[in-house]
Structure 1
Amino acid sequence: MFGLGLLCRQCHGSLTNAVLTRQLSTTPVLQLRKVKAKVPTISKKAAAAKARRKALKKRKNIYEYEKLPLAEAINVLRVRTTLLLPLSSADILQAVEVAHPNATYELVVKTDMKSGTAVPKGRINLPREAKGKTRDKVLVFAEGRQADDAKKAGADIVGGPELIDGIISGRYQATTFLCTPALIRTITPRLGRVLGPRGLMPSERRGTVTDDIVGYLRRIQGSDEWKGDKTGTIRAPIAKLQWPVDDVTQNVRHFLTTVKRAIGIQTDETDKKSSKPSTAITKVLLSSNQGPGIQIADI
């Protein structure tokens, strides 16, 4: 506290008796420092919700929210290839594959695959095949007499734990892996990380861990494998557009029945009951090479 001998600018009076005071701040020094604003981190749930909102804003095709019965969806996508039958104006407007008479129907089955659930997978023999058969390359883990039987039944590679290093290095490659129950515990610690993410690891649930190796090899002859991706979406060529509607319908129904059995929705009396929860089918779409994906109502 101190005084100054100064004059006031307005009245030219003396300021010698004026008392000037200084107020000191009592705020701690640490609180005066500027704290950088933290960038908020988005959780996985919030990021997924943001992605869904963004997807909803995208332009949808005219069939996005429209469901059609299977027969009507086939008629929308199909095209007449016989020149003897005249095309009416309604048929021309209805057909979306006029320039591609050999186009193929594709069936897309979307499943609600939960975290930790196995990727949908199975084998099928359609009533009328839409594509040529592909031969599976089978590797079998077996020893003794079972190994000899597997070789006679047509297995490509047969052996015991000595095959593990070759599979990891890529020297032994196959599309189907089978194993006997006696060797499954031996191969799992090392091959689980290699074959598991690819959906090729033998498992009892899929029937690829079995003592009846010969019977399994006989069952897969003449059949094709179908498999979903990591999101649980299954895609398969199901028929040709020039086929009769009944043939297309029969193939679609047969494929859906096989998928439902594999994911636990539909069971037969002969099927073994599983304690694992079933996976729901959220959407079934039928499309063609140049046509839109039409959602099927009667699944």
Structure 2
Amino acid sequence: MLALFSLPCRRSAVVASIFSNPARISRQFTTTPALLAKKGQTSTRRIPSKKAMAAKLKRRAAKEAKLVDHSNDMSLDAAIAVLRSVEVARPDVCYELFVKTDLRGVGLAVPKGRINIPREPKPKAEDTILVFAEGIQSEEAKRAGAQIVGGTELIEGVLSGRLRANTILCTPALIRAITPRLGRFLGPLGLMPTERRGTVTDDIQGYIKRIKNSAEWKADRTGNIRMPIGRMDFSIDEVVTNFRYVMESIKRVTGNLKQRDARDDNNQKRVTPITKVTLSSRGAPSIPISDY
């Protein structure tokens, strides 16, 4: 019984002894001169150049490609035959093409292009076209079929999401006015008008007429491209033709198709590697294609 009553007394004595000696409860901090940077001291760490980073990423991609198992890959004809046998009761089901590109390289843009596929598997969706133009060019754009036409007053609507379009064009006279505010917003989406893609032009009417008979394909931010290339009731030759046509467009945009024009030898674009191509359907698994 006496031991029980003595416990609070012992505890209070220990607490009193701790607080009576401040050195026991004070935390000691030390400073190491090697870890303290002096004012104005510059880092000696070497920053690799863009060329060195691109070479490093290329080596890494080549090393990763060797680790991929290609034992289950099929030829295009064999893959079509397998999918047709699986979907024999559903002739309206589409062949779905999946292309994976590697966007880890320095300065690689999201792949995007337009094609007029030989035989469309689905009805074409109407494009929403936004045009930055003024004066006579704005009137021509409206007559050509552009849904949204205007000058710099459209910038706020684009930034807020009130004005949305899957094709944006601009005249050379307005491109410098819209770039500071829209460049970083539309660039990652692949919608910023550029001279390289032909979306900065004085011939707005001609460009709209050209794209009206074509369909757009576009990768997502991770570099994946998905699109239907045919239906089960298409003939095998039609599916193969559509597949080759789409892959040629993707290879050309990503730089994997060599330029035949000798004048382009000194101006080769950066190559976006294609790491995987598969063909699938609604009721069948994805089949890797070997001869793309």
CA shift digits 1:74-109 (9 cap, x unpaired): 01111xxxxxxxxxxxxxxxx222443321100111
**Residue in 1 aligned with 2:196?**
205
**Residue in 2 aligned with 1:297?**
290
**Residue in 1 aligned with 2:108?**
117
Q: Is this contact kept in 1: 2:110–2:188, CA < 8 A?
A: no
Q: Which amino acid is the alignment partner of residue 290 of structure 2?
A: A
> How far is 1:64 from its partner?
6.9
CA distance in 1, matches of 2:192, 2:127: 15
Q: Is this contact kept in 1: 2:99–2:277, CA < 8 A?
A: yes
Partner of 2:86, secondary structure, is coil
Q: Does 1:166 align with 2:157?
A: yes
Number of aligned residue pairs: 230
CA distance in 2, matches of 1:270, 1:162: 44
CA distance in 2, matches of 1:145, 1:250: 42
Q: Is this contact kept in 2: 1:109–1:235, CA < 8 A?
A: yes
Larger helix percent: 2
CA shift digits 1:115-135 (9 cap, x unpaired): 431100011111110000111
Gapped runs of 5+ residues in structure 1? 1-28, 32-48, 57-62, 79-94
Q: Does 1:97 align with 2:119?
A: no
CA distance in 1, matches of 2:213, 2:237: 23
CA shift digits 1:161-215 (9 cap, x unpaired): 1111222223322221001122111101111232223221112222211222112
Q: 1:245 aligns with which of 195, 211, 236?
A: 236
Q: Is this contact kept in 2: 1:64–1:294, CA < 8 A?
A: no
Q: Does 1:277 align with 2:270?
A: yes
**Residue in 1 aligned with 2:54?**
none
Q: Is this contact kept in 1: 2:98–2:224, CA < 8 A?
A: yes
CA distance in 2, matches of 1:183, 1:280: 34
Work out the percentage of aligned pairs sharing the same amino acid. Answer: 56
Structure index of larger Rg: 1
Q: 2:251 aligns with which of 260, 268, 274?
A: 260
> How far is 1:158 from its partner?
1.4
Q: Does 1:71 align with 2:50?
A: no
Change (3 A) 1:222 1:243: same
CA distance in 2, matches of 1:215, 1:286: 35
Q: Is this contact kept in 2: 1:133–1:222, CA < 8 A?
A: no
Partner of 1:67, secondary structure, is coil
Gapped runs of 5+ residues in structure 2? 1-26, 30-59
CA distance in 1, matches of 2:165, 2:214: 16
CA distance in 1, matches of 2:264, 2:139: 29
> How far is 1:272 from its partner?
6.3
CA distance in 1, matches of 2:250, 2:214: 14
CA shift digits 1:31-52 (9 cap, x unpaired): 9xxxxxxxxxxxxxxxxx9xxx
**Residue in 2 aligned with 1:12?**
none
CA distance in 2, matches of 1:292, 1:191: 40
**Residue in 1 aligned with 2:35?**
none
Aligned residue runs from structure 1 range 1-299, under 5 A: 65-78=71-84, 95-113=85-103, 114-266=105-257, 267-269=259-261, 274-299=267-292
CA distance in 2, matches of 1:249, 1:271: 32
CA distance in 2, matches of 1:217, 1:153: 6
Q: Is this contact kept in 1: 2:256–2:272, CA < 8 A?
A: yes
Partner of 1:68, secondary structure, is coil
Q: How large is the Cα RMSD of the aligned pairs?
A: 2.9
Partner of 1:292, secondary structure, is strand
TM-score, length basis structure 1: 0.70
Partner of 1:71, secondary structure, is helix
